Amino acid sequence: MTRARRRTAAAAARARAALVAVAVAALGVSPAVPGLPAPAPAAAATDGPCTDPDGVTVVVDFQQLGGGVHVRCAPPPVTSGFDALQRAGISYRTALTQPGFLCRIADRPEDDPCVTTSPADAYWSYWLAPRGGTWCYSNFGAGNRVPPPGTVEGWSFALDAAATSVPPPSVAPPPPLPGVPPTPLPARDCTTPTSSAPPPTTGPAAPDAGGAGAAGGGAAPAAPGTASGGGGPGPAPGTPGTTTAGATPAPATTTTAPTAPGGTGAPAAPGDSRARDAAAATVDLGETGDTGSPVAVAAGAGLVATLGAAALVAARARRRPAPGAGP
Amino acid sequence: MSRARRLPRPLHPVAWWVWALGLAVAASRTTNPLLTGLVIAVAAVVVARRRPDAPWAAGFRMFLVLGLTVVAIRVVLRALLDGSADGHVLFTLPEVPLPEAAAGIRLGGPVTAEGLLAALYDGLRLAALIVCFGAASSLADPKRLLKHLPGALHELGVAATVAVAVAPQVVVSAGRVRRAHRLRGATVHRRHVLRALAFPVLEDALERSVALAAAMDARGYGRRAAVPASWRRATAVCTLAGLAGICVGTYGTLDATAPRALGLPVLAAGAALAAAGLLLAGRRVRRSIYRPEPWLAPEWGVAACGVLAAAVLVTSGATDALHPPLQPLTWPSLPPGPTVALLVAAAPGWIAPPPERTPAPADTAPATPAGRRAREVAAA
């Protein structure tokens, strides 16, 4: 009880500090914000797929950027795709003029200035999947979507990829937890491939379904069924499919390490690059740039204020009548 | 240094425009609020110190207000339509539910510090651009700027000058017509205001135009210098080929799939051809210049200050110092190179010669032509 109250008080203080900061910034004096504590994750992020049925698994595939493939778990509650990254302890950066657009993960690619949206031939693509399902390209931006608990989020760097061949993360979504039916994705979140004839927009996801191993293959047809049938997490329509999927993956759990589907992987990512990525998988996912210091802000604000005062003084001086000019 | 430099005189308008455009280019290259704020402050200082007393120069405050409005609109709209929920939530507005078709758009809801700051940064940049143009238009006389159009565009310049002069003239003639009505003791009924006022004013305007045309004809306007037919053909070829080159080059630079050779090289060649065409066409027009405006050391200095600011910020590239990241939130830094370049851009407030001051009304000193014209317009 008291702890909860203390937490709300702390949150209120944080909000007040942020408010003051933005008010001050709006006055043009000093955009002071980094003093705010970041919204800290409630529980520590863990490596590997979630063991908590309500956690959101986050898969990051650096592809040609050479950072390897990483699977992490964002502990619940997850409020958005960005929040999932944050809770999984993965640093990211959004474009300055398009705050809903992710441009860097773990400060990569460094040559993206992150001012406007990334170029069409080098950007981070956002994928969704139910556990044990197949990847599909999200219809939503990561900031506009609340990932259902127990689902999987994928980030895959698309370099020189045509619109129809964006590579999904090169590891299959982790299989469902034993005995827990996987949460289906809402039908509107992404265009899930329907049975064997996928729509062209989700082309990259389809071959992955066939090649991602027995567990993934078995669960894939079930996922659309549950998603379109129930709309919610109700297990009724998809129960037979999900239970079989839940039963089969148990032995497959060990094969979901980042390098597992090396032989079966998506066609867009060549096997050799993945091997190289695995070797270079020492990237620090929490890596961020320098946060700077308020001293520069104070100095800059002082400069601007000095010049502004000089302008005011000059304007006042000229409005005063020149000596001896009056009648 | 010399005494002549310190004598009040209007600076060459082209120098002011080069300076202001340089400052605008510099502002467009950064979203750092410290640097964009510095641009606005620099422009304000120079305008406050070197603005002439003409009515066309009084609009700078309006540009400042316009810039502030732009910032305010951006921040308010971002608060209403903040798309992303992540970040430091400052407060939460009531959310308006939208239909499924509007997926990705959210009206109301949580407002984040990141979103507001992004709107502020972007708005400040736009405000800085507006203020730069405001500074140029309150420092440089637009009519004297028209004088410096290339010879080939001479007729356009004449048309623009006449057009600019129309509005005050209409006001003057309307006042004259109404005064005449009052002197005759006639009260104009509201229903007949068109017949009683508009027609005399139109007639007056027509008469004035005919008089102006006669005056211009008497002074030799519209005469063409004798130019051989081959020259004229070369002019036409250069201008047309240049324009076509500029079109193709623009397309080539904008379209990412077009071959590289179709981009900048064609654009540059087209611009060069068009410039040659303009130069050739300018030979048709022989003008003598009334009251030539000198381009002296202060002009060089003012223009160089603007060019320096633009060059430094363009060559700095798109770094974090020029575009402080908002995710994660960081303090904007004050990069030394761009800061010094922008401070140097404030030097025109001192190196430019002081502007001519219109003497107070009681003063009997002979008014300068610029001052007299200014007062006429003010009276109108």
Residue B346 DSSP label: T
Residue B270's pLDDT is what? 93
Are residues B318 and B275 both part of a single domain?
no
The Cα A206–Cα A192 span in angstroms is 9
pLDDT tops 80 at residue B265: yes
Q: Tens digit of pLDDT for each residue in B140-190?
A: 887 788 778 777 777 777 787 777 777 777 778 888 888 888 888 877 677
Residue A224's pLDDT is what? 36
CB contact under 8 A, A314 and B49: yes
CB contact under 8 A, B320 and A289: yes
Q: Quick check: A190 and A248 in contact, CB under 8 A?
A: no
B-chain residues within 8 Å CB-CB of A79? 85-86
Which of B254, B284, B314 marks a domain boundary?
B284
User: A60 pairs with which residues across the strands?
Assistant: A70, A155
Nearest chain B Cα distance for residue A243, angstroms: 32
The Cα B192–Cα B197 span in angstroms is 8
State the helix-helix crossing angle for B13-28 and B113-139, rounded to 10 degrees: 170
All residues at 6 or more sequence positions from B376 whose CB lies less than 8 Å from its CB, including other chains: B168
Residue A108 DSSP label: B
Q: Tens digit of pLDDT for each residue in B113-140?
A: 888 888 899 999 999 999 999 999 889 8
The Cα B240–Cα B281 span in angstroms is 12
Are residues B86 and B111 both part of a single domain?
yes
CB contact under 8 A, B113 and A18: yes
Q: Is B185 inside any structural domain? A: no
The whole domain housing B232 covers: 226-284
CB contact under 8 A, A93 and B42: no
Start-to-end Cα distance in chain B: 40
Q: Does A294 lie at the interface with B, CB-CB under 8 angstroms?
A: yes
A-chain residues within 8 Å CB-CB of B324? 96, 292
All residues at 6 or more sequence positions from B73 whose CB lies less than 8 Å from its CB, including other chains: B123
- Closest-CA residue of A relative to B47 is A311
Residue A289's pLDDT is what? 62
Are residues B247 and B332 both part of a single domain?
no
Complex ipTM tops 0.90: no
Q: Measured between alpha carbons, how far is residue B293 from residues B138, B144, B253, B301, B354 in Å?
A: 18, 9, 38, 16, 16
| Interface test mutation site (partner A, options B322, B329, B350, B357, max chain A beta carbons within 10 A) | B329
Q: Is A127 helix (H, G, I), strand (E, B) or coil?
A: strand
- What is the length of chain A? 327
Q: Does A114 lie at the interface with B, CB-CB under 8 angstroms?
A: yes
Q: Tens digit of pLDDT for each residue in B315-369?
A: 987 777 888 887 778 888 889 899 999 999 999 999 998 887 765 544 444 444 4
Architecture of domain A46-279: Beta Complex (2.170)
| Interface test mutation site (partner A, options B31, B64, B82, B327, max chain A beta carbons within 10 A) | B327
Which of B240, B263, B284 marks a domain boundary?
B284
SS3 annotation, B5-66: HHCCCCCCHHHHHHHHHHHHHHHHCCCCHHHHHHHHHHHHHHHHHHCCCCHHHCCHHHHHHH
Q: Does A19 lie at the interface with B, CB-CB under 8 angstroms?
A: yes
Q: Does A239 lie at the interface with B, CB-CB under 8 angstroms?
A: no
**Identity of the residue in A15, A79, A299 whose CB atom sits nearest the CB atom of B90:** A15
Per-residue tens of pLDDT for chain A, all 327 residues: 444 445 445 544 554 455 444 444 444 433 334 444 444 444 566 788 888 888 899 999 988 888 888 898 988 888 888 889 888 888 888 887 777 788 888 888 888 888 888 888 889 999 999 988 888 898 888 887 888 988 999 999 988 877 778 888 988 888 888 888 888 888 878 775 543 333 333 333 333 333 333 333 333 333 333 333 333 333 333 333 333 333 333 333 333 334 333 333 333 334 444 444 444 446 677 766 666 778 888 999 999 999 999 999 988 887 766 554 444
At A246, list the tokens.
């839940």
Residue A43's pLDDT is what? 53
Residue B195 DSSP label: I
Cis amide prior to A258 (ω within 30 degrees) = no
The Cα B179–Cα B320 span in angstroms is 65
All residues at 6 or more sequence positions from A77 whose CB lies less than 8 Å from its CB, including other chains: A42, A54, A149
Q: Is B161 helix (H, G, I), strand (E, B) or coil?
A: helix
Q: Does A34 lie at the interface with B, CB-CB under 8 angstroms?
A: yes
Q: What is the arithmetic mean of pLDDT over B97-107?
A: 73
Q: Does A41 lie at the interface with B, CB-CB under 8 angstroms?
A: no
Q: Quick check: A144 and B83 in contact, CB under 8 A?
A: yes
- Closest-CA residue of A relative to B334 is A296
Q: Annotate B222-274 with DSSP letters as a single string.
A: T------HHHHHHHHHHHHHHHHHHHHHHHHHH-TTS-GGGTHHHHHHHHHHH
CB contact under 8 A, B84 and A301: no
Residue A193's pLDDT is what? 53
| Interface test mutation site (partner B, options A14, A24, A94, max chain B beta carbons within 10 A) | A94
The Cα A313–Cα A319 span in angstroms is 10
Q: Does A99 lie at the interface with B, CB-CB under 8 angstroms?
A: yes
Which of A70-74, B34-38, B211-215, B355-359 bottoms out in mean pLDDT, i.e. has the lowest?
B355-359
**Structural domain tally of chain B?**
2
At A167, list the tokens.
């590579």
At B233, list the tokens.
């053909």
Are residues B257 and B310 both part of a single domain?
no
Are residues B260 and B330 both part of a single domain?
no
A-chain residues within 8 Å CB-CB of B47? 311
Are residues B37 and B122 both part of a single domain?
yes
- Closest-CA residue of B relative to A18 is B90
Are residues B306 and B343 both part of a single domain?
yes
Nearest chain A Cα distance for residue B379, angstroms: 20
> How many Cβ atoms are within 10 Å of B179's Cβ, its own excluded?
10
Interface of B with A in 84-143 (CB under 8 A): 84-91, 100, 103-104, 106, 112-118, 120-122, 124
> How many Cβ atoms are within 10 Å of B143's Cβ, its own excluded?
16
Q: Is A286 helix (H, G, I), strand (E, B) or coil?
A: coil
Where residue B317 falls (left for φ over 0; alpha for ψ -120 to 50; beta otherwise) is left
Q: Annotate B100-136 with DSSP letters as a single string.
A: GGGTT--EEEEEEHHHHHHHHHHHHHHHHHHHHHHHH
Domain residue ranges of chain A, discontinuous segments joined by +: 46-279
Q: What is the arithmetic mean of pLDDT over B77-88?
A: 76
Q: Measured between alpha carbons, how far is residue A192 from residues A61, A134, A201, B86, B261 in Å?
A: 21, 8, 10, 26, 42
Q: Is B233 inside any structural domain? A: yes
Are residues B279 and B300 both part of a single domain?
no
The Cα B182–Cα B176 span in angstroms is 10
Tokens 């401070």, residue located: B343
Among candidates A142, A42, A161, A71, which has minimal Cα distance to A102?
A142
Are residues B275 and B300 both part of a single domain?
no
Q: Does B332 lie at the interface with A, CB-CB under 8 angstroms?
A: yes
Residue B327's pLDDT is what? 73
**Identity of the residue in B84, B121, B362 whose CB atom sits nearest the CB atom of A326:** B362
Q: Is B153 inside any structural domain? A: no
